[in-house]
Structure 1
Amino acid sequence: MDLQITATDPEHPITLLDLPWDVPLTDWPEKHLVSLPRGISRHVVRFARAGGEVVAVKEVGEWAAVREYGLLRDLDRLAIPAVDPVAVVTGRYDADGEPLEPVLITRQLKGSLPYRSMFETTMRPTTIKRLLDALAVLLVRLHLNGFAWGDCSLSNTLFRRDAGAYAAYLVDAETGQIQPQLSRGQREYDLEVARVNIAGELMDLEAGGSLHPSVDPVPFGDEICERYGELWHELTRTSVYPRDKRHHIDRRIRRLNDLGFDVAEMQIKRSPDGDAVTFLPKVVDAGHHQRQLIRLTGLDAEENQARSLLRDLETWMATQDDYAPGDPLGARPEVLAHRWVRDVFRPAVRAMPRELRDGVDIAQIYHELLEHRLLLSERRREDVTMEEAARDFAAGRGDRGPGDPDGEEAVVFPV
């Protein structure tokens, strides 16, 4: 059997031909290899340079290589965070004519690290929780798309930070399978495997002195099940809101925020029955909302203020006719954000009497207006405009000023 390279891109077979396929992967010359952190794997894995990119090469049986290559291509079509498949190489023989194992080749995920490399310096418990949250998000997204992982673990995941966001990427799909829809039992099996694997991996780190002394591996393993359950419920429950009650959407985003997740993307689909809303969550780092608000609007605010303003901006953008994520003809977020500042944010702040604005930053004023609008909307059981909220707010706060805790309508803000 001759050497055969099955690749996703017509150019890859040419660039891959330069690699020493007649040599076992463990013996590849250093000139072909790239020194990058590797996670634990049951197979031999090496990073190599092929043309102008770095690829991960894994020796594995032919059936497993072809199957995993197909699964990774399916995940790519579903837009699931996973490593990109590049090629499968079969028909390998050494210089003596002895057969060598086929290999699966994936593209190296830039900026990513295996979990063990991240624990080389003792990681704070809060950071560990964010990584597990990111893994919970990945598992939920896989299950929503009918993918049963079969071996969810920290070892089979890569983590990447991007503009303050933590993201988890599937790196090993060998045990996975895709179905039209997963049963509850299949999802619970994946969760149980994840719980046991994560607890064991953290125990291993603890034994090596790489785990923060305040971290108990078993409760952290249990926590991913709790986070998954909360997120699954919040994302999968039926959500069709009447068009005159969009404040319900705001309330739902707040519930996701309370779970520790930001909304990476929100889609509103019009139907005769109302507005059907779907969300895509992500895990964010401290200061993320401040940076994003400045980038989009130029407004400088504290983190909780920025989260509140961005929530309003994102809800407003989703209602605009020219808002079309991924459509090159749709308005860019920066354009819509500028319009929101001009047509929504500034008029609302200017509607407040000057005596209420003095000594209070405008981001805090707008945040309190949003809280007041939500309160009025829920009382009236219908959407209240920003103009109505500003008038009512000014009338009720004129003697006290924004943020004063006295009075029955005082708003309590998170610290």
Structure 2
Amino acid sequence: MDDRQLQVLCGPDVLGRGASAEGGIICADRRGGAGIYPPSDAAGPVSPVHGPGNRTNTQPVLGHRAAQAQCQGTARAGFDSGATNPAETAFTGGLGQAAVQRGRVQDGLPPGRTGDVEDRGVSEGGSVIERFENTHRRTHDCGQLRAGDTGKKVRLCGWVARRRDLGGFAFVDLRDRYGVTQVVFEPDNGDLFEKAKQLRPEWVIGVEGTVRSRGENANPNLATGEIEVVAENLTVFNTADTPPFLPVDKIDAREELRLKYRYIDLRRPTMKRNLLLRHEVMQSARNSLCAQGFVELETPALIKNTPGGARNFLVPCRLQPGTFYALSESPQVFKQLFMMAGFDRYFQLARCFRDEDLRGDRQPEFTQIDLEMSFVSPEDVFGIVERLMADIYRDVLGVELSTPFPHMSWRDAEAFYRHNRGSKFFSGVL
């Protein structure tokens, strides 16, 4: 088979080929895909694994270099694992470790790891999924354990918030987004104890142990303060350099430094609470609007530049040089199309982009709760938005707002307030 025939069979992005144990053709493409084709040169793989002939799934299994090395014939013997056909063999993991390791070296990855295979659930001594389930899968999060869990065998995963050596014991505060749990390493387990003494802040670890009551030493400042976990096994998933600042609320770090190390900044309790609060507000808004008959519909972010209003961000178009898309400043045109199409109640948590100067209430990129309705009166709009606000306050803050809100006409507003170049002077009750 020449290169032209190979491209017809495997696709235009083919990088190389090799022969399987059964005489089939192994192909790899520039997307990192790899596929096995039957000796008959049929235009497609034997089974829907992946690869250039299978256009419905282009997710790579091997890395670029690993797949190329395999297709150069270095892994031929590795495919003889007793599967019913070559493609099944590839799918079940008989990929040939030599080719994988060679590919990892060419990609600049450590040759000792077989992640390209292990990510597909295959490794020595059982699949990665099985090993994870048996040794690393957490049974609880770090904010979940209570006094009623005393005596249970548990596995926790998280970040080392702090390590202390007191009275011959090593104590680790293990943190995840749910909370903090104290883990105790006792000196009786010498190897484990020495390993625990090497732990440093922000290392990512997994711990297996038994829940024990802290008795009179309970910490009332922690939700998990009544218990501790006596460690029996420790796995270090990842080490960490000394962070430029600790993920605590009171820090003396410039905003530029916090943004540079944003992933550390987002571990701070205040930032975590802000993100979770935003999530709760968005979920409550969705639930409220859906309950009122609205349909959430997405609109394009890349649109035609429109004159008037806010300035647009322009995005060059590669396929048509010299032309530009504009980032949507609002979904206005598209939601009007929805109304014309009969979707009489639309909403979207819309991303908007406006090339304007920064102000206290405006940024170049922001999110808004965008609504549009047909066949409604102003009173209908008031009622829907008031219920939306009442639902959000109740769901997120536990505050009950009485509805309907007080309404004020324009004439009443003029009577109560006087405006002078943007300043408000109160001449009546608010």
TM-score of the superposition, structure 1-length normalised?
A: 0.22
Higher helix fraction: Structure 1 or Structure 2? 1
Higher strand fraction: Structure 1 or Structure 2? 2
Q: Which structure would you say has the larger RCO, counting Cα contacts within 8 Å and 6 or more residues apart?
A: 1
